[in-house]
Amino acid sequence: MAKQLRVQVWNPAGKHRVVSTKPMPGTRWIGLLTAAGCRVEVCTENKTILSVEDIRSLIGTQCDGVIGQLTEDWGEELFAALRKAGGHAFSNMAVGYNNVDVDAATRNGISVGNTPGVLTETTAELAAALTLAAARRVVEADDFMRAGKYEGWIPTLFVGNLLKGQTVGVVGAGRIGAAYARMMIEGFKMNLIYYDLYQSTRLENYVTAYGEFLKSRREVPVTWKRATTVEEVLGEADVVSLHPVLDKTTYHLINKERLALMKKEAILVNASRGPVIDEAALVEHLKENPMFRVGLDVFEDEPHMKPGLEKLPNAVVVPHIASASKWTREGMATLAALNVAAKIKGYPVWHDSNNVEPFLDENSTPPLACPSIVNSKALGLRIGGKPESKL
């Protein structure tokens, strides 16, 4: 039997019991849930990742909804437990949900919420930061200074890569990939090559327009190219940033053979999902090619790194912080809470999950709708919600 986990309770007399498996940034999300008549229980146990058994104990015998995290394994066992406890609402505090068995949730009549629309710029900025840190060897130089090794300026000290005028490759030109591309193109006048199953007309038009602007100023225009294969991107780009979804087709998308196609001094960035890269193969490639650099926010066996990665000076590694800006994390908490609160109240699903801004304005009450439910169609949930309808 699992031990009782520590929780902090808001609105003890609330009609609907909602559990959050982790404390989340900000307080607005708590206020929205309590205003909807919910008793909010936040797990404060000093444990980074809760087990299935832990979460079952939190659900207990009566629970209307749960806000979970992407580090948790939400499958048949947990959704069956939530249904048995009378619950019918769950939300991941993440835009991705590869930790969630959506079919199992649907079988148990439970909605699965996610938090799109607030991570785009923040994640793209972190990918850009990793690019710069790798290109200019910032972490190596920082370590060098802190170790007291700097004795004066040397022409060959930490020589890195110039980004201006080089080619940036983007694999997955969705919202985050396109935002990253725009940052690198406008910030460093890089040319673009991208691969995506779908044509990114908006991104192409943006690069074309920016190229025309540069020409009008008698500067060299930027260019774009849509690649027909991932291999084409890897072979041509000086920097490659990965932004695909994680599924069977993208697992180990970057493997030993594809790494070998990249330029010897290329930079590889991943702020999407860890298993997109064969991390063991990457470690060997970094060892064999000391001028090849990588910036990683995610890892194949998170929170662990493959052996040897931590020792490599040509790898910049950070602990899954792509969404870790105050505005974004508080926005994610707000959307997750509203996915649960609105479902409990019987409100419809918001008509446009790509536009969640009406839910994020702290100076007004949010619409009467669930911001984003990924299995709304399978559950037959109503689609609706208008900006003038408030919670």
- Catalytic residues, by residue number, are 273, 302, 320
How far is residue 146's CA from residue 143's CA, in Å, rounded to a whole number? 5
How far is residue 234's CA from residue 260's CA, in Å, rounded to a whole number? 9
Beta strand 383-384 pairing with 349-350: parallel
Question: Would you say how long the chain is, in residues?
Answer: 391
DSSP letter for each residue of 166-202: -EEEEE--SHHHHHHHHHHHHHH--EEEEE-SS--HH
DSSP reduced 3-state for 27: coil
**How far, CA to CA in Å, does 323 sit from each of 99, 144, 255, 329, 372?**
17, 29, 26, 7, 18
**How far, CA to CA in Å, does 240 sit from each of 64, 78, 225, 270, 383?**
44, 38, 14, 9, 38
How far is residue 262's CA from residue 45's CA, in Å, rounded to a whole number? 45
